[in-house]
């Protein structure tokens, strides 16, 4: 009999949930759980490939699928002969859905990671025209401060040196709780209640929802890492309006200017969509220029793909060849910005959290190669002398 296996696709939220699932099914035998993604059509294709690979690798195992694709693409996945069952996304953290005896369930599996993702919020109350995720995640709901602090303390006691707070719409955390506390209040509470936590990081945030408390912490708090990843999506106001985003280009520029004025070493990341319906060449050029203007060095580029039951799927579509070409241009622009930024890190001492693969992440999320024998989980200071293949060395 073989131990259970969790196959994870997609976002940091899925990574955090997969760690919880691993604890729930730790006592099971011959079980594979595919935690799927459906954010794009490519993500769904990758999910189907992962299911087929898992079945080939473990033909005798019970194979269950959960995650966003399990809800959004339920009929199509149910028709796959490789799958033994589907666990609805809303029930993915319910051990009963995996038919595991209660005595075998661990609340969280100690995976020996140096970094851990802590999901503090789920679901989304917004209605971006391109996004299918609310169909798979439901309404926004938040863990209480007490719950988050308890989990953070548990993870640090297990040896985790960096926590990444994550959620489907992280900056909406607290809107559904009594008194509507802000994300800044949660970050402050974690830092105060867990003094032994060396590093705290945020996953993707919606810039328009960053409260003044959180902004001050991002600028002033040394344990909150100088790295922010914005759910930006586009650099042209008309496309942002058609996406039903709640910020403008000017809003993003002002936010980054305030952050960099207070903390010049902060690194900017962003999600950008290429080829959104009705996008013209002018709109695309605005997307390229926002990369330069914000100095985006950690970028995720998504070629637009129509998702079922979304308003954008009914808008005039951009030719697929043009979408792919624009995505490639965006990636090249981010690669150029990143290459320049990496060069600027040479000779600058970097505090790096050592991983188990011989590398680690600096506070600004630069990837750094470490000397052989560096103990995983330790934070070491490295002064890089060069960079190659996306890593400081």
- Closest alpha carbon to 388 in 342, 337, 351: 342
Residue 106 has a pLDDT of: 53
The two structure tokens encoding residue 15: 């990574």
- C-beta of residue 65 within 8 angstroms of C-beta of residue 43: no
- C-beta of residue 349 within 8 angstroms of C-beta of residue 310: no
User: Distance (Å, rounded) from C-alpha 168 to C-alpha 204?
Assistant: 9
Q: Are residues 220 and 257 in the same domain?
A: yes
Our count of domains for the chain comes to: 3
Identify the sign of the CA torsion 197, 199, 203, 209: positive
Residue 26 has a pLDDT of: 83
Q: Are residues 311 and 355 in the same domain?
A: no
The two structure tokens encoding residue 155: 């993870």
The answer to the question of residue 376 being in a domain is yes
The answer to the question of residue 261 being in a domain is yes
Determine the structural domain holding residue 365 and report its residue range.
Answer: 350-392
The answer to the question of residue 259 being in a domain is yes
Q: Are residues 332 and 357 in the same domain?
A: no
The two structure tokens encoding residue 206: 């919606």
From first to last of its 393 residues, the chain has per-residue pLDDT tens of 688 999 999 888 888 898 889 888 887 888 999 999 988 889 999 999 999 999 999 999 999 999 999 989 999 999 999 999 999 988 898 888 888 765 455 555 444 578 899 999 999 999 999 999 888 888 999 999 999 999 999 999 989 999 999 999 999 999 999 999 999 999 999 999 999 999 999 999 999 999 999 999 999 999 999 999 999 999 999 999 999 999 999 999 999 999 999 999 999 999 999 999 999 999 999 999 999 999 999 999 999 999 988 999 999 999 999 999 999 999 999 999 999 999 999 999 999 999 988 899 999 999 999 999 999 999 999 999 999 989 999
Question: Phi and psi for 387 in degrees, rounded to 5?
Answer: -145, 145
Q: Are residues 297 and 360 in the same domain?
A: no
The helices-and-strands tally (H runs, E runs) of the chain is: 12, 17
Segment 294-332, tens digit of pLDDT:
999 999 999 999 998 899 999 999 999 999 999 999 999
Q: Are residues 220 and 293 in the same domain?
A: yes
Q: Are residues 292 and 354 in the same domain?
A: no
Q: Are residues 151 and 215 in the same domain?
A: yes
* Cross-strand partners of 61: none
48: domain CATH number?
Answer: 3.40.50.12160
- 3-class DSSP string for 274-301: ECCCCCCHHHHHHHHHHHHHHCEEEEEE
Residue 110 has a pLDDT of: 45
Segment 171-185, tens digit of pLDDT:
999 999 999 999 999
* Cross-strand partners of 355: none
Contacts for 16 with CB less than 8 Å, ≥ 6 apart: 116, 117, 118, 119, 166
pTM: 0.88
């Amino acid at each position: 009999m073989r131990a259970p296996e969790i196959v994870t696709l997609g976002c940091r939220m899925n990574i955090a949930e997969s760690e919880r699932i691993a604890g729930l099914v730790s006592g099971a035998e011959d079980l594979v759980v595919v935690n799927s993604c459906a954010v794009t059509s490519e993500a769904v294709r990758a999910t189907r490939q992962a299911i087929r690979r898992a079945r080939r690798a473990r033909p005798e195992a019970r194979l269950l699928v959960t995650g966003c694709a399990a809800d959004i693409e339920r009929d199509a996945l149910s028709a796959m002969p490789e799958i033994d069952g589907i666990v609805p996304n809303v029930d993915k953290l319910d051990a009963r859905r995996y038919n595991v005896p209660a005595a075998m369930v661990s609340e969280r599996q100690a995976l020996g990671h140096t970094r851990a993702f802590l999901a503090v919020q789920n679901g989304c109350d917004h209605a971006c025209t391109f996004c299918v995720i609310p169909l798979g995640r439901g309404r926004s709901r938040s863990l209480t401060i007490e719950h988050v602090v308890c989990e953070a303390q548990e993870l640090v006691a297990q040896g985790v040196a960096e926590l990444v707070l994550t959620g489907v719409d992280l900056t909406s955390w607290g809107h559904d709780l009594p008194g509507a506390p802000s994300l800044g209040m949660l970050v402050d509470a974690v830092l105060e209640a867990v003094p032994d936590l060396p590093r705290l990081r945020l996953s993707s945030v919606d810039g328009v929802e960053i409260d003044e408390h959180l902004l001050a912490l991002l600028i002033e708090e040394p344990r909150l890492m100088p790295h922010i990843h914005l759910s930006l999506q586009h650099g042209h106001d008309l496309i942002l309006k058609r996406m039903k985003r709640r910020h403008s280009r000017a809003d993003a520029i002002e936010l980054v200017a305030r952050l960099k004025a207070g903390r010049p070493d902060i690194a900017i990341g962003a999600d950008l969509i290429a080829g959104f319906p009705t996008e013209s060449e002018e709109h695309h050029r605005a997307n390229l220029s926002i990369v330069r203007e914000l100095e985006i060095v950690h970028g995720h580029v998504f070629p637009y793909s129509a998702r079922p039951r979304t308003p954008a799927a009914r808008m005039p579509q951009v030719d697929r060849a043009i979408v792919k070409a624009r995505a490639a241009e965006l990636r090249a622009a981010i690669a150029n910005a990143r290459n320049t930024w990496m060069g600027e890190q040479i000779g600058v001492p970097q505090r790096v959290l050592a991983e188990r693969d011989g590398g680690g992440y600096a506070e600004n999320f630069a990837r750094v190669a470490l000397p052989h024998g560096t103990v995983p989980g330790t934070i070491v200071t490295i002064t890089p002398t060069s960079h190659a293949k996306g890593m400081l060395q």
